[in-house]
Amino acid sequence: MTFGVVVFPGSNCDEDAFHAAKDLFRQDAEYIWHKDTDLKGADVVILPGGFAHGDYLRTGAMARFSPIMSSVRAFAERGGPVLGICNGFQILLESGLLPGAMLRNRSLKYRCEHVYLRVEQNDTPFTSAAKVGQVLRIPIGHGEGNYFAPPDMLEELEANRQVILRYTDPNGQLGDEWNPNGSVHAIAAICNRSRNVVGMMPHPERACEALLGGEDGRMIFESIVSEMAVR
Amino acid sequence: MIDAQLLERHGLKPDEYARIVTFLGREPNITELGIFSVMWSEHCSYKSSRVHLKTLPTRGPQVLQGPGENAGAVDIGDGLAAVFKIESHNHPSFIEPYQGAATGVGGIIRDIFTMGARPIALLNSLRFGSLDAPGTRRLVEGVVAGIAGYGNSIGIPTVGGEIAFEPSYAGNPLVNVFCLGIAKASDIIKGVASGAGNSVYYVGAKTGRDGIHGATMASAEFDERSAEKRPAVQVGDPFMEKLLLEACLEVMQTDALVGIQDMGAAGLTCSTTEMGSRGGAGVEIDVSLVPQRETGMTPYEIMLSESQERMLLVVKRGREAEVERIFDKWDLHAVHIGEVTTDGLLRVKDKGAVVAEIPNRALTDEAPLYRRPMEEPEYLAEVRKLDLDALDGQRRLRSSDQDAALLMLLGSPTIGSKQWVYRQYDHMVRTNTINYPGFGAGVVRIKGTGRALALSVDGNGRHCYLDPYRGAMLAVAEAARNVACAGARPLGATNCLNFGNPERPAIMWQFAKAVEGIGAACRALNVPITGGNVSLYNETDGKAIYPTPIIGVVGLLEHADRVVSRRFQKSGDAILLFGVGRGELGGSEYLKVVHDLVRGEPPSLDLDAERALQGLLVALATERLIHSAHDCSDGGLAVTLAECCFDTDGMGAEVTIPDAGGETAAALFGESASRVVVSLSQAHVPAVLQQAAAASVPAQVIGHAGGTHLRIAVAGQTAIDLSIEDAERVWRSAMERYFVRRVA
């Protein structure tokens, strides 16, 4: 199968996602330039982390106008799996492919550290290898990861089981001090209603090798690789 | 009309002006005067420091590029080169902390990718006044946010560094930034202009009026009017630099380039002159073709602007379209602004009319060179006297209360955890970081090779204040030792020399002694200096900072997975001490924090013993015989042992250390050099002791890891007994407590 990693000007985790797919999971991988419209036969599309177009206006606000985004939208509407990581999640929100918005972290500071995440749902292509309730240790690195949705939208998200990962303590218990950015309902990842588009603030590609301090991010890649093998 | 006042505003002395007139055979015009003033400034010409810097060791079989280029480079095997340099942005950071620090990061990154290297890691070394002063907290927040804002956005991890707080930096903080990149050794590109008729291109951000005379500002002392110099600080745009970085690396994949240089200090002036000078050629440009952000800019302003994120390229004739296409892809505009000539002149035109014409040589090789007078400072005789017995009457603590002393040290911002800082830096992007900041030297693996590089920046201004020669040696030894503790063989070094006004003989003496010390240590430890930066005039209202040479060392691990960190790994492991404690409290953090004293002589250093120790550490890591290694520095053995216990989920240690021939505090907190604490499985103790003996490194088993407390006995008497949980809480909040806000 082929991973398509979209490169916006200012993307800076594109090589990391590519490295994970190609070198660690031995899949085909292609970089897709944001000015192109051809997804190069990708079976999965990753919108990587970074600061697309500098993010001077609002995170992801410019990237949604890149030509490739109409192809990504069409791909998602056909049911193709799309994963937005960090800035990629922000871009999915701005594009309307996922609901809600990002605010600045509650601390008003960028935070880079490992956090604990509880898997809430495993019926998405990116969490199918996990058990519900399983706790993962994966790093974050963002200044605007404070997920926000108005109450009715939030209610709908929860009712439709669209919250995929939540920030918790190492035992999977919710607690304000374990929420690194102030996200409502401790939300770290959500999916769309058809469950093929997932956005997550933590960086699974940074947690795929023991040498780098943890391998819990492999679960995200293992899920999609085995999903696609079945299809 | 050029008069004395105008010369003073340009920082030029009357005799320097006379030299300019002799060179040109006429009076310069105002544009030429501006060009001379920045090129002959201390910042660009190194006129006070050059005679001393020439004495540094710069060669070695591993050195691929020594000083003189945009950055140095060492061979790391597999045809790859580590390209690295450290640079200061002290003055701009004091005036505008966020932008000053951010553009410092931007500048050093450009120096690295200019060489054809992909930047993969950043470190920084920061000095501030006491955190008790609100002004310091504002500076710290701004500088840290500026470093984070630039480095995080461009996507280069900040993997380590160090911060210290001393009142001497209150009016003059230090912001030294180090960057490391990887290049194919055969693809290293230099900042040369050669080949008559080749095209000179300008790429990147437009030129504005920002930063005019930044280099001159960095070459003067501060006073109460310094805030008025704010317009001389530039504004950084990390997104623009990210585009430049990617586009330049792509252009370098072709062979269409002759040379490339970033426009840093002194902007277009410095890049055109230096490239021409290195290539033995001339450069002719027309400033009217330079993209401008503001209207009505004069040739003087365009030549002196220090607007950020700009590069100068020399492109082979006939290959222009190819280069332009790549920049177009990244939405960057490459503009043809001139040609390489054969006449050795910098010729500046404005819409075709010549507005400046100066021999390159006059601006570079023939810049003034001073052998400034030196004199041993008067304060030294007094501050070197240290009488511990005289302290008894005024002790803040009973001498028996070592637990309290250790907690004071762990809770001091210089020693305490810097998590509040490095949590704001993306230290994981590029997925190479093996040793995180705060765990010892920063370590990044080199993808595709199985190897890794360890990086450390170190320097102790207090030691250098008390003895610049020994203090500088200690800085080199500590940086190399930190790298060796990670298991890496030190390969090369870069230095950033932060001092006061060199026109004062006492400062010049400190500078010369420090350079001598660096040279001696680098020669003995086989770490040649491959480049660096000098920052003088670090004074405010006539008060100089402590002399502060910062040394960055790069080391190579043959096996990335054999990296060693400071943390104890397994309960029951044996704890060994390499080296000998001599109870040296002179210039220590203990005297400073507990007794508010900056006195005595800094620790002695035996360079042969240091070299043996570092060789042993690398061998033990390579053979996987040790589980952790941590050097003894600020706060001595007691602080080192405590730090080995932190970030281990509360694992303690039980040790007995020898009496260092003096009071207990000297054994616990003395900062004798060339000491390292390692932990290892009990089974390996005999083998390790044997190897240490063979290497002539003193070694002794001092205890074992385990339990929940740190217990240290000195000569059989319990001196320290603290729960790790309590000690770690104090250590962890040492810096953060100054910045705590209302919890939302």
Q: For B139-169, write each residue's pLDDT tens digit.
A: 999 999 999 999 999 999 999 999 999 999 9
Percent share of chain B, pLDDT over 90: 86
Q: Average pLDDT in the B409-434 region?
A: 97
Give residue B722's pLDDT band: very low, low, confident or very high (50, 70, 90). Answer: very high
Give pLDDT tens digits for A110-121. Answer: 999 999 999 999
Give residue B2's pLDDT band: very low, low, confident or very high (50, 70, 90). Answer: confident
Give pLDDT tens digits for B272-281. Answer: 999 999 999 9
CB A51 within 8 A of CB A60: no
Report residue B299 as tokens.
């040739």
Give residue B703's pLDDT band: very low, low, confident or very high (50, 70, 90). Answer: very high
Euclidean distance between the first and final Cα of chain B, in Å? 61
Sign of CA pseudo-dihedral B347, B348, B354, B356: negative
Give residue B744's pLDDT band: very low, low, confident or very high (50, 70, 90). Answer: very low
Q: Average pLDDT in the B659-677 region?
A: 91
Contact residues on chain B for A9, CB-CB shorter than 8 A: 239, 242-243, 246, 330-331
Please name the residues in contact with B444: beta carbons below 8 A apart, sequence gap of 6 or more.
B120, B121, B157, B159, B180, B430, B432, B433, B434, B452, B453, B455
State how far the alpha carbon of A81 is from the alpha carbons of A75, B333, B733, in Å.
Answer: 8, 37, 44
Q: Is A34 a catalytic residue?
A: no
Give residue B386's pLDDT band: very low, low, confident or very high (50, 70, 90). Answer: confident
Give residue B219's pLDDT band: very low, low, confident or very high (50, 70, 90). Answer: low
Secondary structure E strands in B546-605: 548-557, 574-578
Widest CA span in chain B? 85
pLDDT at A143: 97
Contact residues on chain B for A19, CB-CB shorter than 8 A: 431, 447
Q: What is the DSSP string of B365-383?
A: TTS----------THHHHH
Q: Is A203 left (phi over 0), alpha (psi -120 to 50) or beta?
A: beta
Report residue B417 as tokens.
């955890």
Give pLDDT tens digits for A139-165. Answer: 999 999 999 999 999 999 999 999 999
Sign of CA pseudo-dihedral A161, A164, A170, A175: negative
Per-residue HEC secondary structure of B473-540 comes to: HHHHHHHHHHHHHCCCEEEEEEEEEECCCCCCHHHHHHHHHHHHHHHHHHHHHCCCEEEEEEECCCEE
Q: Is A55 on the interface with B (CB under 8 A)?
A: yes
Strands, sheet with B353-359, edge to edge from the N-terminal-most edge strand: B257-262, B310-315, B199-204, B334-341, B282-286, B345-350, B353-359
Sign of CA pseudo-dihedral A52, A54, A59, A62: negative
pTM of the model: 0.95
Q: What is the CA radius of gyration of chain A?
A: 16
Q: Average pLDDT in the A210-230 region?
A: 95
pLDDT at B216: 63
Q: What is the DSSP letter of A209?
A: B
Sign of CA pseudo-dihedral A64, A68, A70, A74: negative
Give residue B600's pLDDT band: very low, low, confident or very high (50, 70, 90). Answer: very high
Give pLDDT tens digits for B538-585. Answer: 998 889 999 999 999 999 999 999 999 999 999 999 999 999 999 999
Give residue B743's pLDDT band: very low, low, confident or very high (50, 70, 90). Answer: very low
Report residue B290 as tokens.
């330079």
Average pLDDT, chain B: 93
Lowest mean pLDDT among A35-39, B44-48, B59-63, B497-501: B44-48
Asked whether the beta carbons of residue A211 and residue B434 sit closer than 8 angstroms, the reply is yes
| Interfacial residues of B (vs A; Cβ cutoff 8 Å) | 145, 148-149, 152-155, 237-240, 242-243, 246, 330-331, 422-434, 436, 445, 447, 560-561, 741, 744
Contact residues on chain A for B433, CB-CB shorter than 8 A: 212
pLDDT at B226: 53
Give pLDDT tens digits for B79-122. Answer: 999 999 999 999 999 999 999 999 999 999 999 999 999 999 99
Q: Average pLDDT in the B481-506 region?
A: 97
User: What is the three-class DSSP state of B298?
Assistant: coil
Number of other CB atoms surrounding residue B6 within 10 Å: 14
pLDDT at B542: 86
Percent share of chain B, pLDDT over 70: 95
pLDDT at B232: 62
- Residue (of B410, B390, B335) closest to B642 by Cα position: B410
pLDDT at B581: 94
Give pLDDT tens digits for B222-273. Answer: 665 554 554 567 788 999 999 999 999 999 999 999 999 999 888 999 999 9
Asked whether the beta carbons of residue B153 and residue A20 sit closer than 8 angstroms, the reply is no
- Residue (of B579, B576, B603) closest to B589 by Cα position: B603
For residues A189 and A199, what is the distance between their CA atoms, to the nearest angstrom? 5
For residues A130 and A209, what is the distance between their CA atoms, to the nearest angstrom? 18
Report residue A205 as tokens.
């590609």
Beta bridge partners of B577: B677, B700
Give phi and psi for B126, each to the nearest 5. Answer: -125, 145
Contact residues on chain B for A23, CB-CB shorter than 8 A: 447
Tell me the angle at which helices B607-622 and B685-694 cross, rounded to the nearest 10 degrees. Answer: 140
Q: Is B148 left (phi over 0), alpha (psi -120 to 50) or beta?
A: alpha
Candidate list A86, A144, A191, A227, residue with the active-site label:
A86
Secondary structure E strands in B38-109: 63-65, 72-75, 80-88
pLDDT at B198: 96
- Give the closest of B155, B425, B744 to A106, CB-based: B744
- Residue (of B180, B174, B186) closest to B493 by Cα position: B180
Give the pairing of strands A82-85 and A44-47: parallel
Give pLDDT tens digits for B299-314. Answer: 999 999 988 899 999 9
Sign of CA pseudo-dihedral B506, B507, B511, B517: positive
| A 98-157: CB under 8 A from B | 106-107, 109-113, 139, 141, 143
CB B702 within 8 A of CB B575: yes
CB B672 within 8 A of CB B606: no
Q: Is A191 a catalytic residue?
A: no
Give pLDDT tens digits for B328-369. Answer: 999 998 999 999 999 999 999 999 999 999 999 999 989 999
Min distance B419 CA to chain A CA atoms (Å): 10
Contact residues on chain B for A111, CB-CB shorter than 8 A: 423-424
Sign of CA pseudo-dihedral B152, B156, B161, B164: negative
CB B286 within 8 A of CB B351: yes
Kindly identify which residue of chain B lies nearest to residue A54, measuring between CA atoms. Answer: B239
Widest CA span in chain A? 44
Number of other CB atoms surrounding residue B68 within 10 Å: 13
Q: Average pLDDT in the B494-499 region?
A: 98
- Give the closest of B148, B239, B428 to A53, CB-based: B239
Sign of CA pseudo-dihedral A129, A133, A134, A136: positive
Give pLDDT tens digits for B164-218. Answer: 999 999 999 999 999 999 999 999 998 999 999 999 999 999 999 877 766 565 6
Asked whether the beta carbons of residue A51 and residue B447 sit closer than 8 angstroms, the reply is no
State how far the alpha carbon of B454 is from the alpha carbons of A110, B254, B555, in Å.
Answer: 25, 31, 5
CB A166 within 8 A of CB A174: yes
pLDDT at B264: 82
Sign of CA pseudo-dihedral A156, A157, A160, A161: negative
- Residue (of A142, A140, A124) closest to A132 by Cα position: A124
Give all domains of chain A, ordered by start, each with its CATH number: 2-230 (3.40.50.880)
Q: What is the DSSP string of A50-81?
A: B-GGGGSSSTTTTGGGSTHHHHHHHHHHTT--
> In this model, does residue B742 exceed pLDDT 50?
no
Give phi and psi for B464, each to the nearest 5. Answer: -70, -30
- Residue (of B520, B465, B462, B518) closest to B493 by Cα position: B518
Give pLDDT tens digits for A17-37. Answer: 999 999 999 999 999 999 999
